Amino acid sequence: MELNINVHKFGGSCLSAIEDIDAVVERIRHSEGRAVAVVSAFSGITDRLIGQIDYRSSSSNSDFTASIELEHIERVPEIASSPWAVRFAETLHHLADSLDLHASEPDIEVRADALACGERLSSLAIAAALDARGIPAVPAWSEETGIRLIGRGEDARIDANQTKQLLEIPTGAVPVITGWYGVAQDGYALLGRGGSDLTATAVAAALDASSVTIWRDVAGVLALSPRWTLPARNLSNLSYTEAAEFALFSEPMLHPSAVEPLRKPGIPLYLRPLHSPEVDGTIIGPSIRLETPAVRAVGCLPHLISLSWSLSSALSLTESVSDAMSALGSARIRVASIRAQPGRVRLLVSSRMAARAKRILSEKPSLPTPELGEPLSILCFVGEGIGEDSSIRDQIKSFATEANIQLQFSDEESRDHAIHATVPANQTEQSIQSLCAALDLLTQ
């Protein structure tokens, strides 16, 4: 395997304007070793595609596709005269045909194919931008390079073994690989929200790369998600385990499974700001235990409501959970947490989706009508070793008591690297601000 391959992933937030494209080119130009790029769709494109598929605007699919073409040409004018101009036009025609086909005969593989056109167009445009600026590049689509998935629809996962066996990328130029989608047994499938992160790390593992860098519009990883608009500390490093846990509770930090392909080979993952390459950002790698365990970050899943039901002896726990998850998944309702024990099942969903989720589950003949609980939020305290140190839990409880926060620790099995707790939904913001300040996770 070739030595010193460095994978660079550029998400949609880094593909918003001409200035972003210029920065992408420079990051590739100054990459050490051999650069491999992985790209998401341009900013806003996937949302527009979903809107056209699900809600059908008044514009025809051909008019809609023409507007998508214009967005790409505005950001990368070079695409119109590039070696891939014909392929760019063919992809737009394929998009329009896929939208028409799905409108007449809805199909999850056709839907995935249509949505993947955002990544295909992005790959063509970024390859054109690189080539026009003197960096030989070539688009490398997932179906061509050997990226294989397991599953269907929008929640598939990487088939690591098959991808490693089949992966073949162009040589002699920078390959611009499409993220987020791949080929599964029944056709095209998608990796879910943030799935391009997983594409990048899976490719890096298959190539035995030296590093992966995910370029972002923020400076690394903060101890608290930017959504809370508090001045949180920047984390210079995280372990794979800390990063995976924090990602579950801090969208859109990173795809929660993105670190998994990197664990065994020990490939470092860097999260860095696109427009400030002099900033080191955050490095994610093997565990480094502190002498004294400490909470390093706090994640939150806010404003959730529980749906719970009791099971009679005639109902199978496994089948009950499976039926509920299938029904909610088909309705694209995300389940934030599952707790299943003999005789009782509890799911947590967004409070916005709770009434709809209850109606859907109530209509399932195999399930009892669920009961709705009071709104709550889950807090996740992250740090290597904190789950084994009872003093950390006591400290958090003490801080909560002082701030009059009704905090309850989860009675789930304890984890070495995390402590979970719940608070009433109406105390979410107060809890985050008070506890993060007390734990010294905010800047002065």
Clarify whether residues 246 and 315 are in a common domain.
no
Distance of alpha carbon 99 from alpha carbon 105, whole angstroms? 10
What's the pLDDT score for residue 411? Answer: 66
User: For the residues 11-26, what does the mean pLDDT come to?
Assistant: 95
**Helix, strand, coil percent content, the chain, rounded in steps of 5:** 40, 25, 35
Residue 128 domain-assigned (yes or no): yes
Clarify whether residues 191 and 122 are in a common domain.
yes
User: For the residues 239-250, what does the mean pLDDT come to?
Assistant: 93
Please give the sequence-ordered ranges of beta strands (E in DSSP) within 68-173, or none if there are none: 137-140, 149-150, 157-158
Based on the number of CB atoms within 10 Å of its own CB, is 120 exposed (0-12), middle (13-18) or buried (19 or more)?
Answer: buried
Q: How confident is the model at residue 1 (pLDDT cuts 50, 70, 90)?
A: very low
* Structural domain boundaries enclosing 212: 5-285
Count of helices and strands (H, E) across the chain? 14, 21
- Residue 62's alpha-carbon distances to 87, 97, 111, 124, 185, in angstroms, are 17, 9, 16, 20, 30
Clarify whether residues 184 and 99 are in a common domain.
yes
Please give the angle made by the CA atoms of 237, 242 and 247, to the nearest 5 degrees. 100
Q: How confident is the model at residue 329 (pLDDT cuts 50, 70, 90)?
A: confident
Distance of alpha carbon 148 from alpha carbon 184, whole angstroms? 6
Q: How confident is the model at residue 2 (pLDDT cuts 50, 70, 90)?
A: low
Tell me whether strands 181-184 and 187-190 are parallel, antiparallel or unpaired: antiparallel
What's the pLDDT score for residue 434? Answer: 96
Give me the helices (H) in 153-215, please: 160-166, 195-207
Q: What is the CATH number of the domain that holds 330?
A: 3.30.70
What's the pLDDT score for residue 412? Answer: 60
Q: Which of 128-137, 353-362, 406-415 has the lowest mean pLDDT?
A: 406-415
Q: How many domains does the chain have?
A: 2
Distance of alpha carbon 296 from alpha carbon 93, whole angstroms? 49
Q: How confident is the model at residue 311 (pLDDT cuts 50, 70, 90)?
A: confident
Nearest to 126 by CA among 35, 274, 14, 25: 25
Distance of alpha carbon 7 from alpha carbon 262, whole angstroms? 12
Clarify whether residues 135 and 102 are in a common domain.
yes
Clarify whether residues 163 and 280 are in a common domain.
yes
- The domain boundary, picked from 343, 372, 401, lies at 372
Clarify whether residues 275 and 351 are in a common domain.
no
Distance of alpha carbon 27 from alpha carbon 243, whole angstroms? 24
Nearest to 396 by CA among 375, 419, 417, 416: 419
User: For the residues 100-109, what does the mean pLDDT come to?
Assistant: 92
Q: Which of 27-36, 91-100, 248-257 has the lowest mean pLDDT?
A: 248-257
What's the pLDDT score for residue 86? Answer: 97
316 has a pLDDT exceeding 80: no
241 has a pLDDT exceeding 90: yes
Q: Which of 317-321, 354-358, 395-399, 400-404 has the lowest mean pLDDT?
A: 317-321
Say if CB 425 and CB 304 are below 8 A apart.
yes
Amino acid at 313: S
Residue 417 domain-assigned (yes or no): no
Please give the sequence-ordered ranges of beta strands (E in DSSP) within 146-296, or none if there are none: 149-150, 157-158, 174-178, 181-184, 187-190, 211-216, 221-222, 234-235, 237-239, 269-273, 282-285
User: For the residues 212-232, what does the mean pLDDT come to?
Assistant: 91
What's the pLDDT score for residue 305? Answer: 95
Per the prediction, the chain carries an average pLDDT of: 92
User: For the residues 25-29, what does the mean pLDDT come to?
Assistant: 97
Taking the alpha carbons of 149, 333, 15, 280 in that order, is the dihedral positive or negative?
negative
What's the pLDDT score for residue 373? Answer: 93
Residue 431 domain-assigned (yes or no): no
Clarify whether residues 150 and 218 are in a common domain.
yes
- The domain boundary, picked from 353, 372, 391, lies at 372
Share of the chain above pLDDT 70, in %: 96
Q: Which residue has the higher pLDDT, 267 or 2?
A: 267
Number of Cβ within a 10 Å radius of residue 98: 24
Q: Does residue 252 have a cis bond before it (omega within 30 degrees)?
A: yes
Q: Which of 39-43, 141-145, 250-254, 260-264 has the lowest mean pLDDT?
A: 250-254
Residue 52 domain-assigned (yes or no): yes
Clarify whether residues 253 and 205 are in a common domain.
yes
Q: What is the CATH number of the domain that holds 180?
A: 3.40.1160.10
- The domain boundary, picked from 269, 285, 301, lies at 285
Q: Which residue has the higher pLDDT, 72 or 365?
A: 72
Clarify whether residues 34 and 116 are in a common domain.
yes
Residue 379 domain-assigned (yes or no): no
348 beta partners: 306, 337
438 has a pLDDT exceeding 60: yes
Nearest to 50 by CA among 117, 4, 3, 2: 117
Q: Which residue has the higher pLDDT, 321 or 134?
A: 134
Tell me whether strands 376-382 and 371-372 are parallel, antiparallel or unpaired: unpaired
Clarify whether residues 87 and 156 are in a common domain.
yes
Based on the number of CB atoms within 10 Å of its own CB, is 20 exposed (0-12), middle (13-18) or buried (19 or more)?
Answer: buried
Tens digit of pLDDT for each residue in 273-283? 999 999 989 99
Clarify whether residues 181 and 233 are in a common domain.
yes
Distance of alpha carbon 77 from alpha carbon 129, whole angstroms? 8
